[in-house]
Chains A and B, each alone.
Chain A
Amino acid sequence: MIEKGMNDIVGTAGLIVLLLVMLLGMTRTARPKRPGKRPRPWARGPVPARRPQQVMLAEHAALWRARAKELEDLGDAAGAERAMREADLSEARASWHERASAMSKASLAEAADREEDRTAAREAERRIALALLFMPAGQRERYQQEWNAEMDILSAREASTFALQLLWSAPRTGAMLWLKYTFGRRPA
């Protein structure tokens, strides 16, 4: 009797503790974060994105030109000339950066195209290899040669699509060839 009563008390207490823990958890997750306080003060804040070099250099050139005009107005001809030289230099650098960036963009695009072609070619090879698994062993070489010859005139992407279509129809083709091989008419 006493033991049963103790069990009831312990069970009720456990239930209350569980409810409290759950409530505490809910209030914790619902608590809004204090604004302005960083949770990890040691962590580095967001780094502002740097503007492209050519934009900055063009701005420098404009500033140097404005400075040259100021110096010219003040009567400092030598200073104005120096400022103009700096402006010309900045402009030249900006145009060089622009050209370099355009070239690197073009070369990057070209490299991406080449990589895509390589991926497509590998994909086509894999698909053909998989499709050939469905063919009877004795005829794999013939179909491999035939399909490779067809793909020879296609671009890498077209070849990949062609190989995918082959792969889709390969089970049916293979089944036909296997059936013919197994039950077909043989010379007497």
Chain B
Amino acid sequence: MGEPRMTLATRAVLSAFLAAPADEHYGLQIAEAAELPGGTIYPILIRLEQCGWLESRWEDIDPQEEGRPQRRYYRLSERGAQAATAAMAKVISRKRRTLLSARPHGGMA
């Protein structure tokens, strides 16, 4: 599967994961960290999971004991951690290049 489109929302989600690459997060935690509305992150999570950048699993608890349903936890896969770091670096360098090229170079009047 190819690379996901690096939209602002995707970058925000990846930044949230890259802040603690080894940690597992559930949907609302990710949304909060990425400062995105809760219900809007699922297409991104699914896309990243399809690309193999994220892994997910059901929380290992007894819902009866905990008094709440099991959550789905997401974490960066090994490949995802490398690819996401590279993709973020690429975006940042591209942005820097754009900013530099937009600077006035001076010229002849």
Cβ of A172 < 8 Å from any Cβ of B?
A: yes
Assuming A173-B46, A176-B47, A177-B46, is B71 touching A150 (CB within 8 A)? yes
| Interface size class, chain B | 10 to 19
Interface residue SS majority, chain A: helix
**A169 to B39 alpha-carbon distance, docked (Å):** 8
* Cβ contacts A151-166/B at 8 Å (1 or 0 each): 0111000000111111
Chain A hits for B43, CB < 8 A: 169, 172-173, 176
Q: Are A165 and B40 in contact (CB under 8 A)?
A: yes
The answer to whether A148 and B39 touch across the interface, beta carbons within 8 angstroms, is no
By size class, the interface of chain A is 20 to 34
Which residues of chain A from 131 to 187 have a CB within 8 Å of any chain B CB? Answer: 142-143, 145-146, 148-150, 152-154, 161-169, 172-173, 176-177, 180, 184-185
Quick check: is B50 within 8 A (CB to CB) of the other chain?
Answer: yes
B1, B47, B71: the one within 8 Å of A149 (CB): B71
Interface residues of B in 64-107 (CB under 8 A from A): 68-72
Min CB gap A136→B, angstroms? 11
Kindly state the separation between the CA atoms of A165 and B43 in the bound complex, as whole angstroms. 11
Cα distance A169–B46 in the bound complex, in angstroms: 12
Cα A144 to Cα B23 with chains together (Å):
24
Q: Is the CB of B46 within 8 A of A149?
A: no
Which residues of chain B from 31 to 64 have a CB within 8 Å of any chain A CB? 37-40, 42-43, 46-47, 50
Whether A164 pairs with B39 at a CB distance below 8 angstroms is yes
- Alpha-carbon gap, A173 to B49, bound state (A): 12
Please give the distance in Å from B33's CB to the nearest CB on chain A.
14
Q: Pick the contact of B68: A153, A163, A172 (CB < 8 A).
A: A153
> Considering the chains assembled together, what is the distance between the CA atoms of A135 and B70 in angstroms?
20
| Minimum CB distance partner of A149 in chain B | B69
Which positions in B face A, CB cutoff 8 Å? 1, 26-28, 37-40, 42-43, 46-47, 50, 68-72
Give the 7 A-B residue pairs with the shortest CB-CB distance, closest first: A165-B39, A166-B39, A149-B69, A146-B72, A173-B43, A162-B39, A162-B38
